A and B are shown apart, each in its own frame.
Chain A
Amino acid sequence: MSTLTKILIVLLTISSIFLCGIVVTYVANADNYRQMYDDLKDERDAFEENVKGLTKQLNEKIGEKQRLEDKLNREIASLTIKIEQLQSQFKIVEAEKDDALRRVNSWAAIVRDFYETTDEHTQLLKNTLAEKIRLEAEQIKDRKELNELTTSLEEKMAIIVMLDEKTKRLLEDKAELQDRLDKYLQQIGKRAAELVPVTPKKAIARPVVPPARDIELKGLVTAVDLKNSMASISIGSADGVKEGMKFHVTRGDEFICVILIIDVDAEEAVGVLELIQKQPKAGDYISTNL
């Protein structure tokens, strides 16, 4: 065997081992395209199935949407008709409302005038009643004063009549004495001188100022309202009771309370209970002075 042959054998062997190594390395590291293809194919099939399912669902949804659209269109049409009817009714009701408002305003004005008139009449009635009560009180007071003056006048008239009779008797006595004196003086040739009265003439009579006296009003408690601390008494403005007066309530020798008068009528008065020592009741005595 020649040396060249040997060298060729060695080179052939080395190159074979090298190339086989490269081939084995390449084949071992090569990608498994079939596996990749199968995977991609399975994935594509799955996607196609999904697409079919989604397409089916889409078709169903489109059909449902179409049905709903038709239904809603029908409802919209019916509601539009109803809206038109309601708008026409609304216009009618609006007109009726305006008419009713005008009538309400007119009635309100009438009622307002009526209330104002009623208030004026009520105020006038109150004033008239107050004036009536005041006049009644003054009338009763004047009547009392008139009775007292009448009695006093009758007494004075009786005194005047008595004085007239006395004066007449004195004049008769004076005339008789004058005749006797004239006859006596004529016998001695003399004449009686002019008489000068010893008592001087009095001035014109003036009204006498009445002496001051204490107010001493007495009466009875007629009703008691303990809930509101109020009480009414049996005397009123005709007897001289005035607002702000205080009456002492007594029962026998016991002091019960004080009544401060806040409202006075002709024959009765109403007041507030103060300084309550015992519970007052109807029939207790009242007086301004203890």
Chain B
Amino acid sequence: MSPNGKTRGGKVIPSNNLYTVILGLACGVVLATAVFVAYMCYFQYRTIFEIP
């Protein structure tokens, strides 16, 4: 965590909401990509983790 961060009652409180939003966007994009890849795998091969 950033040395400039504030700790309030054991919870991490971001010091800047803008970069938090950017990180959230990056996580969302990765998650959406994972969901899309999982959907395509299941749609095409009827399985996600196994080799047909």
Q: Which residues of the other chain, A, contact B33 by a CB distance below 8 angstroms?
A: 20, 23-24
Q: How far is the CA of A182 from the CA of B41 in the complex (A)?
A: 207
Q: Which residues of the other chain, A, contact B5 by a CB distance below 8 angstroms?
A: 1
B7 at the interface (CB under 8 A from A): no
Q: Mark A15-56, 1 if CB is under 8 A from B, else 0.
A: 011001001100110101111000000000000000000000
Q: Which 3 A-B pairs have the closest CB atoms?
A: A20-B33, A13-B26, A16-B26
Q: Mark A69-90, 1 if CB is under 8 A from B, else 0.
A: 0000000000000000000000
B40 at the interface (CB under 8 A from A): yes
Classify the interface of chain A: helix, strand, loop or mixed: helix
The answer on a CB contact under 8 Å between A1 and B4 is: yes
Q: How far is the CA of A273 from the CA of B47 in the complex (A)?
A: 130
Q: Which residues of the other chain, B, contact A33 by a CB distance below 8 angstroms?
A: 44
Query: Known interface pairs A1-B15, A9-B19. Does A16 touch B44 (Cβ–Cβ under 8 Å)?
Result: no
The answer on a CB contact under 8 Å between B52 and A34 is: yes
* Contact for A34 among B4, B22, B44, CB less than 8 A: B44
Size bracket, chain B contacts: 20 to 34
Q: How close is B52's CB to chain A, nearest CB, in angstroms?
A: 6
Query: Known interface pairs A23-B37, A35-B44. Does A13 touch B22 (Cβ–Cβ under 8 Å)?
Result: yes
Q: Report which B residues bind A (CB closer than 8 A).
A: 2-5, 15-16, 19, 22-23, 25-26, 29-30, 32-33, 36-37, 40, 44-46, 52
Q: Which residues of the other chain, A, contact B2 by a CB distance below 8 angstroms?
A: 1-2, 5
Query: Known interface pairs A28-B40, A32-B44, A34-B52. Does A2 touch B26 (Cβ–Cβ under 8 Å)?
Result: no
The answer on a CB contact under 8 Å between B22 and A9 is: yes
The answer on a CB contact under 8 Å between A2 and B4 is: yes
A217 at the interface (CB under 8 A from B): no
**Which residue, of A6, A10, A13, A17, has the highest number of chain B Cβ atoms within 10 A?**
A13
Q: How far is the CA of A2 from the CA of B3 in the complex (A)?
A: 8
Q: How close is A257's CB to chain B, nearest CB, in angstroms?
A: 127
Which residue on B lies nearest to A6, using beta carbons?
B19
Q: Which residues of the other chain, A, contact B15 by a CB distance below 8 angstroms?
A: 1
Query: Known interface pairs A2-B2, A34-B52. Does A27 touch B37 (Cβ–Cβ under 8 Å)?
Result: yes
Q: How far is the CA of A17 from the CA of B22 in the complex (A)?
A: 11
* Contact for B45 among A10, A20, A24, A34, CB less than 8 A: A34
Q: Which residues of the other chain, B, contact A12 by a CB distance below 8 angstroms?
A: 23, 26
Q: Which residues of the other chain, B, contact A1 by a CB distance below 8 angstroms?
A: 2, 4-5, 15-16, 19
Q: How far is the CA of A5 from the CA of B1 in the complex (A)?
A: 9
Which residue on A lies nearest to B41, using beta carbons?
A27
Q: Which residues of the other chain, B, contact A6 by a CB distance below 8 angstroms?
A: 16, 19
The answer on a CB contact under 8 Å between A20 and B32 is: yes
